[in-house]
Structure 1
Amino acid sequence: MENLYNLGDFSFNIVEDKLSSSNDTFWETKGHNEMKNVQFSVAEDLGDYNGIESLCSNFGFFQDDPSYQENEFLKFHHQQQESYQDYETFDNLHFDMVHFGDTKKDQPFYQTPLAPVDILKNYGKGFKRLLPDDEGNILHPVNDFGLVTNNENEKKLLSTIEIMKMAGTRFIQSSSSSKSASGLILNHPFGFSFSGLSDEEKENVSLAESLLACAEKVGYQQYERARKLLSQIESLSSKTGNPVKRVVHYFAEALCQRIDKETGRFSVSSNNMQKMESLFDPQEVSKDLNPAMIALYEDLPFSQVSIFTCVQALLENVNDAKKIHVIDLEIRKGCQWTILMQALQSRNECPLELLKITAIESGNSDTSKHIVEDTGKRLKDFAQSLNIPFSFDIVVVSDLLHIREELFKIDSEETVAVYSQFALRSKIQQPDKLETIMRVIRTINPIVMVVAEIEANHNSKSFVNRFIEALFYFSAYFDCFETCMKGDEKNRFILESMYFSHGIRNIVAEEGAERKSRNVKIDVWRAFFTRFGMVETELSMKSLYQAELVAKRFACGYACTFDMNGHCLLVGWKGTPINSVSVWKFI
């Protein structure tokens, strides 16, 4: 067994960085036609839990008793069926892979130009939505978003992602080097033509194309040429314009900061950004609830879809346990556990004797420790209001390297599970700490580990590859803001200008130890977890139903898209991956 999780040098270069969608996968629903959907909600008289109760909702969880009608869920309606255009040309091309190495010593790669594969490799294919067939018996992926519409009489506005795709294709086709380098003929429905686009869409495509040209020049270290382009881009982009202008503004800002760092010519704006970054740490700030973070949770579907799917998967694995002990790697305000409590309250076949939550807190920040302690107090109050037997514990270590199995108070009668919601990504930069926590989890040997992570490759050594990945990822978010947060301009502006701009600058402008935002995709996590003797288990049909149900409750839920990568659920926006949810067990 020791060889299964040997912690010696391991290269992630063998893992292909691609979405392995199973387009031919079908989910048989016979036998699930009558599954019981247990509804739960927070009573109005439970008191004020400082935002916790506002993050609960009336969604239901699926219990083992199969007794409810299939037409209660999974009936997303298409407003229209659109033609689907993918990029089979790029399916077999290799994309730069990442590894968890010594991030203090990594150096940027400047020699790689923007190539067709860099722009369209992962973003040509749309996601699918899981829908029953006409008879309601089979669940299968359905192509949901295309680049053009079959209806000539209907004007379809381009999404932010589609603008970026078109700008990328135009940039590639206009580059003589890329034409001859790959020998590929790009077959894109837009091509060079601006035909049929509005004036605003034309401006957006040209602006995005200029941004790509600027990134290429930065990649070639042609900084003066890049500066000239940036001055034009900055005059045309805006913090308060349409989503394309907004996202381009922040990427241009990041490129400017990178150029200043590389040339040693720090501008006033760069100095101001550095001062702000020293005072504002999104990782710490997001642990507490504030209006902007609550708006992100309540208005955008991704967090709730991920949380409810994770809780559903966790619930199924501890369904027969009377004493449940969940180790949370990064608890924040713990809204996921109020959701679990409500689900457990409705469990009649196996009365709950104890729900224990153990939170891990590392570092010397008193603020973070107080947040976790406050979370524990509020969860205890919430559990008491539901008559749930509850215990809360905190494992505090000054450094994750010091974490040990004996610090966790585990009773032999407890069923132990591990919950990781966007917790591991922050430790990629510190692989020794990441491996330490995984060793301890391996030793504890929980019945299940449920993981939600960001589904993006922001850890490539190549600057241009990383730039493209980040551009498409954040473009999807800015497009989502436009759709879901139109009436909440203040919170939207705070999220974009503080939280998301910080992430963009860190990915684009920083290298080495300063580059802390190092998200990787599920294929990389899959290879990493295998080292510790972990095997991925299939997400149940109930968990997939749960994801659909939660998305359906949002007005913008029609644009929340799903796909499967192996046994992992990928949650996206109009075809661009955002989050992943996976379930793991130890062998």
Structure 2
Amino acid sequence: MLTEEDIVDKFFYQYPDHPELLQAEQPFAEILANTSSDAHESFASSTSILMPSQGNGTDFMVSRCQVQYPAFFLNGTGIAEASGLVFPIPSESSTRTDMLSSMAFFRGMEEANRFLPADNVMVAGRGRKKRPGMDGEVEAGLGRSSKQITVLPRCVQEEEEATALEMLDRLVLNGYDAHPGEMQEVVRVTLEDKENKSAIGRRGRRGARHTVVTDLETLLIRCAEAVSSNDVHGASKLLERIKWHSSPTGDAKQRLAHYFSQGLEARLAGTGSRLYRALMEKHTLTVGLIKAFHLHMAACCSMKVGLLFAINTICKAVAGRRKLHIVHYGITTGFQWPDLLRLLANREGGPPQVRITGINTPRPGLRPAQIMEEAGDRLGNCAKQFGVPFEFRAVASKPEDVRAEDLHIDPDEVLVVNSMYEFRTLMDESLTFDMVSPRDMVLNNISKMRPAVFVQSLVNGPYSAAFFMTRFRHALYYFTALFDVMENTVPRDNDQRLLVERDMLARSAINMIACEGADRVERPQNYKEWQARNERAGLRQLPLDPDVVLMLKDQVKSRYHKHFMISEDHRWLLQGWKGRVLYAHSTWASQVID
């Protein structure tokens, strides 16, 4: 009732002669009745009250407030008429009485005028300021008083979605070229700008940057130690210092510290799972995500090397055969396979029949396999254009639940199993110590499929330790390298770089820092640990093709930053940045030889 704006009016209308109201009005009526005419005149002159004037209309003004009775409202009887409504107009005989009953109101109006804003603020309704967005307009900011949410018109949303789908189809058809158009220009200009700087300037900046890096790294480690020991006071003080020196638009270390501090703060407050879910649910326009992924392909060679490694391996495996079956763990948009379909279409003797089975964790909602089904439609259109017989099947299930007999494997097919950086999210023994871990279950199922080749690309991130501080230090060094890649290849003011760092890098780091138990989905291991797992599951490692390795080295050297490296270690193809191994690739087959 207190917040209802017209409560006073309703009360007066319902109880016009209420005894308590009459009793409350009595003292004021006596005061008005005893007021002298001199006081009336003094008040009238001080408040600029204009009495009814002779003429075509009547003005009644109080300071800045003015009410006008137009001429056509007046009739000869001193009554204003309009649209069937009758308004009495004060006559000279009743003017003094009316003034007596209105003095308190006008005095309040005069006092209130002193507090009115100087600018022209419109008033809508009873006592409410009319803001610019009240007449159907959406306010630009979402402050505390705003109850409207910015919503794009349906036509704009549909146009944006159509543009995004058209762009996605075009990129899938073209195979996500590593240096497309504007992204190639962004990376090229950045590299040229860094190459043209003087040696003295580079040394000066490098020295200053090293000071900031060392300071922020030390602060982050000290803060992580305070968080792990539940030192709320000490961790809060360190977080304040880190936030003061960090920024999502600063240099590489400042950006990394910005996101790491978010993870530490959430872990300290016990809201890590909530923060990670909010980040995953954060809506970003599809066009922006595609451009961000495009930029990442142009700036970092990790995805391109993985694609070329898998495609060339599969082409060798299917040489001279008529049927190909690819089991793809973690398929999303299907961007991996148009290049392969194009190569198979131009193969001497004609293309083989291609069947792809996509496996991915079901999405919540009515269509758990929607992303995979859309990927199948895109790949089907590509295969039709290239003239390749094609079949696609989507399996919405957890990877560890898919068995070999669920895939309808044909003995006449060349079976290839592929996983690109997806196994890092499989749960390990830390949660399943009394049973077989999901990682071993997936590898056991792959071994039972008896594939001609299993192409495995891994995130070589040794930050899956059970102890938080060990995990934090490894993650800090790993993500330092990833943010440094973006610092050396993309300008700081590039919008797509912010999306790459927030949606592709920061989410993983925050999940690793702030979450525990089943909520921690980021669990990468180094390639030597995966090698031991694969061998326990009954898989044997295949040697690397020297021609493929040489081709990949030439690609990286000619098209990417000089600090990217390609090397080999015990039949593993390693990718890294400034000497740190970030990704690893290998090929495997069943130990049972047909």
TM category, shorter: 0.5 to 0.7
SS at match of 2:337: helix
Please say if residues 211 and 248 of structure 1, whose CA atoms lie closer than 8 Å, have aligned partners that are also in contact.
yes
% identical equivalent positions = 23
Q: What is the aligned counterpart of 2:444 among 418, 424, 439? A: 439
Distance 1:441 1:237 in 2: 45
Structure 2 residue 346 is the aligned partner of structure 1 residue 336: no
Q: What is the aligned counterpart of 2:175 among 55, 63, 85? A: 55
Once the two structures are superposed, residues 148-167 of structure 1 have per-residue CA deviations (whole angstroms, 9 ceiling, x without a partner) of xxxxx944858xxxxxxxxx
Distance 1:497 1:457 in 2: 21
Please say if residues 328 and 417 of structure 2, whose CA atoms lie closer than 8 Å, have aligned partners that are also in contact.
yes
Letter in 1 for 2:424: R
Q: In the alignment, what sits opposite 1:566?
A: 570
Please say if residues 418 and 450 of structure 1, whose CA atoms lie closer than 8 Å, have aligned partners that are also in contact.
yes
Please say if residues 178 and 304 of structure 2, whose CA atoms lie closer than 8 Å, have aligned partners that are also in contact.
no
Q: What is the aligned counterpart of 1:580 among 573, 579, 584? A: 584
Q: In the alignment, what sits opposite 1:325?
A: 325
Once the two structures are superposed, residues 110-166 of structure 1 have per-residue CA deviations (whole angstroms, 9 ceiling, x without a partner) of xxxxxxxxxxxxxxxxxxxxxxxxxxxxxxxxxxxxxxxxxxx944858xxxxxxxx
Once the two structures are superposed, residues 421-475 of structure 1 have per-residue CA deviations (whole angstroms, 9 ceiling, x without a partner) of 1222221357644333333322221111001110111211121221111111111
Q: In the alignment, what sits opposite 1:383?
A: 383
Please say if residues 313 and 539 of structure 1, whose CA atoms lie closer than 8 Å, have aligned partners that are also in contact.
no
SS at match of 1:562: strand
Deviation at 1:207, TM superposition (A): 2.5
Structure 2 residue 551 is the aligned partner of structure 1 residue 549: no
Q: In the alignment, what sits opposite 2:354?
A: 355
Please say if residues 458 and 518 of structure 1, whose CA atoms lie closer than 8 Å, have aligned partners that are also in contact.
yes
Distance 1:436 1:233 in 2: 42
Q: In the alignment, what sits opposite 1:276?
A: 278
Structure exhibiting the larger radius of gyration computed from Cα positions: 2
- Structure 1 pair 331/221, CA: closer, same or farther in 2 (3 Å)? same
SS at match of 1:458: coil
Q: Normalising by structure 1, what TM-score?
A: 0.62
SS at match of 1:392: strand
Distance 1:228 1:54 in 2: 51
Distance 2:578 2:201 in 1: 14
Letter in 1 for 2:589: K
Letter in 2 for 1:215: A
Please say if residues 456 and 519 of structure 1, whose CA atoms lie closer than 8 Å, have aligned partners that are also in contact.
yes
Please say if residues 224 and 472 of structure 2, whose CA atoms lie closer than 8 Å, have aligned partners that are also in contact.
yes
Q: What is the aligned counterpart of 2:268 among 259, 263, 269? A: 259
Unmatched 5+ stretches in structure 1? 1-45, 60-78, 80-152, 159-194
- Structure 1 pair 566/489, CA: closer, same or farther in 2 (3 Å)? same
Q: What is the aligned counterpart of 1:202 among 198, 205, 211? A: 211
1:19-418 correspondence runs (5 A): 49-57=169-177, 154-155=199-200, 157=202, 198-261=207-270, 273=275, 276-277=278-279, 279-280=281-282, 290-348=290-348, 350-365=349-364, 366=366, 369-397=369-397, 399-400=398-399, 402-418=401-417
Once the two structures are superposed, residues 462-520 of structure 1 have per-residue CA deviations (whole angstroms, 9 ceiling, x without a partner) of 21221111111111111111222227721111222333222111111222122111011
Letter in 1 for 2:418: Y
Please say if residues 289 and 499 of structure 2, whose CA atoms lie closer than 8 Å, have aligned partners that are also in contact.
no
- Structure 1 pair 537/461, CA: closer, same or farther in 2 (3 Å)? same
Distance 1:515 1:215 in 2: 17
Once the two structures are superposed, residues 309-349 of structure 1 have per-residue CA deviations (whole angstroms, 9 ceiling, x without a partner) of 1222222222232211111112212222111112223322x
- Structure 1 pair 482/385, CA: closer, same or farther in 2 (3 Å)? same
Distance 1:550 1:294 in 2: 17
Distance 2:227 2:539 in 1: 41
Letter in 1 for 2:499: I
- Structure 1 pair 198/434, CA: closer, same or farther in 2 (3 Å)? closer
Please say if residues 321 and 352 of structure 1, whose CA atoms lie closer than 8 Å, have aligned partners that are also in contact.
no
Once the two structures are superposed, residues 8-35 of structure 1 have per-residue CA deviations (whole angstroms, 9 ceiling, x without a partner) of xxxxxxxxxxxxxxxxxxxxxxxxxxxx
Q: In the alignment, what sits opposite 1:15?
A: none
- Structure 1 pair 392/421, CA: closer, same or farther in 2 (3 Å)? same
Q: In the alignment, what sits opposite 2:463?
A: 458
Please say if residues 309 and 546 of structure 1, whose CA atoms lie closer than 8 Å, have aligned partners that are also in contact.
no
Distance 1:450 1:205 in 2: 39
Distance 1:47 1:511 in 2: 38
Q: In the alignment, what sits opposite 1:107?
A: none
- Going by fraction, where is helix more abundant, 1 or 2? 2
Deviation at 1:361, TM superposition (A): 3.4
Please say if residues 308 and 547 of structure 1, whose CA atoms lie closer than 8 Å, have aligned partners that are also in contact.
yes
Distance 1:495 1:360 in 2: 25
Structure 2 residue 464 is the aligned partner of structure 1 residue 477: no
Letter in 2 for 1:273: L
Once the two structures are superposed, residues 332-371 of structure 1 have per-residue CA deviations (whole angstroms, 9 ceiling, x without a partner) of 12222111112223322x5433122111234253565122
- Structure 1 pair 388/501, CA: closer, same or farther in 2 (3 Å)? same
Deviation at 1:299, TM superposition (A): 3.1
Once the two structures are superposed, residues 219-257 of structure 1 have per-residue CA deviations (whole angstroms, 9 ceiling, x without a partner) of 444342222122111101111111111111111221222
Distance 2:469 2:295 in 1: 32
Structure 2 residue 503 is the aligned partner of structure 1 residue 501: no
Distance 1:516 1:489 in 2: 29
SS at match of 1:379: helix
- Structure 1 pair 578/419, CA: closer, same or farther in 2 (3 Å)? same
Letter in 1 for 2:210: E
Larger relative contact order (Cα-Cα within 8 Å, sequence gap ≥ 6): 1
Distance 1:338 1:486 in 2: 30
Q: Higher mean Cα deviation, 248-257 or 356-365?
A: 356-365
Distance 1:155 1:572 in 2: 28
Q: In the alignment, what sits opposite 2:48?
A: none
Deviation at 1:280, TM superposition (A): 4.7
Deviation at 1:196, TM superposition (A): 9.4
- Structure 1 pair 553/376, CA: closer, same or farther in 2 (3 Å)? farther
Unmatched 5+ stretches in structure 2? 1-165, 180-190, 192-197
Distance 2:223 2:279 in 1: 24
Q: In the alignment, what sits opposite 1:26?
A: none
Once the two structures are superposed, residues 496-545 of structure 1 have per-residue CA deviations (whole angstroms, 9 ceiling, x without a partner) of 23332221111112221221110111111111111111111121112212
Distance 1:344 1:470 in 2: 40
Distance 1:436 1:200 in 2: 46
- Structure 1 pair 419/246, CA: closer, same or farther in 2 (3 Å)? same
Please say if residues 55 and 298 of structure 1, whose CA atoms lie closer than 8 Å, have aligned partners that are also in contact.
no
SS at match of 2:461: coil
